[in-house]
Amino acid sequence: MEPRTAAFTPEGDLVRWIELPGEGDPVVYVHGLGCHGAATWAASAVRLGRRAIILDLPGHGRSDRPASFAYSLPDLAEAVARVIEAVSDRPLDVVSHSLGGSAAIVLAAAHPELVSRSVLVEPGIDVHPVLPGDLGAWTDDQVVAGGWDELLAAEVPWRRADVRLADPLAIVRSARHISAGLDGGLPRLIADSSVPTTLVRSPLRTYTAAPAFESALVDQIVISDAGHFVMLDQPEAFDGALRAALA
């Protein structure tokens, strides 16, 4: 399938996405770190039955991977904004996972006119100290000078196949930004958002800033017997949560 494109840098680097047919206004799906859109979201999108815009973030999948790009959360949010502007003249529902969820929080804060509802699945929100061996501890030079093979070897086989499609610099730079958590500002962006938001997580995930989410516009759904990839671990339960969030 030929992907559609939108420029996300002044130099014309392109973010790419595929569209799946369905009923009603499209839903925009955003994947996580070291993933790509189709592997993460195609099955859920088909089951939901809505028209789907499944994108690959910069540095991932089939999107471009400029070495000069910072891959910060605001940068990624702006790339998603370019996709929404290219496909619609009104706000769209955005469903996001992990790194994509972190970027979607920034997107809703910076461009509430583009997002009608936001479903955040296991987003990176809290600031985390970077420990030796963490992805966020790698420097650009280390990963380019042979570290990429080491990082791939540490992944389980099914994840390794997806991570291989991502750019090494995009991986480590995005990982550093996830750990920083926008200098601790993500919980406040969620709590202050004017966009109705649903936070979907597994029982294994806790957020230290959860009290800040106690808002009429923020719902929280916990899906049992699931890990980080909630939509893959418990697809039926996730489908129900997604339908409720977008009802």
pTM: 0.95
Q: Where does the pLDDT of residue 1 fall: very low under 50, low under 70, confident under 90, or very high at 90 and above?
A: low
Q: Where does the pLDDT of residue 2 fall: very low under 50, low under 70, confident under 90, or very high at 90 and above?
A: low
Per-residue pLDDT tens digits for 150-178: 888 888 888 888 899 999 999 999 999 99
**Full DSSP string of 111-174:** -GGGEEEEEEES---S--PPPTTSGGG--HHHIIIIIHHHHHHTS-HHHHHHHTTS-HHHHHHH
Q: Decide if pLDDT at 216 tops 70.
A: no
Main-chain phi, psi angles of 173, to 5 degrees:
-70, -45
Q: Residue 11 and residue 172: Cα distance in Å, rounded? A: 22
The CATH number given to 4-131+177-245 is: 3.40.50.1820
Mean pLDDT for the stretch of residues 217-236: 94
Q: Decide if pLDDT at 212 tops 80.
A: no
Q: Residue 141 and residue 25: Cα distance in Å, rounded? A: 44
Per-residue pLDDT tens digits for 26-50: 999 999 999 999 999 999 999 999 9
Strand partners for 219: 198
In the Cβ-directed half-sphere of 75, how many Cα atoms lie within 13 Å? 19
Looking at per-residue pLDDT, the higher value among 134 and 107 belongs to: 107
Residue with tokens 């500002």: 185
Q: Where does the pLDDT of residue 16 fall: very low under 50, low under 70, confident under 90, or very high at 90 and above?
A: very high
Question: Could you tell me the residue ranges of all domains in the chain?
Answer: 4-131+177-245
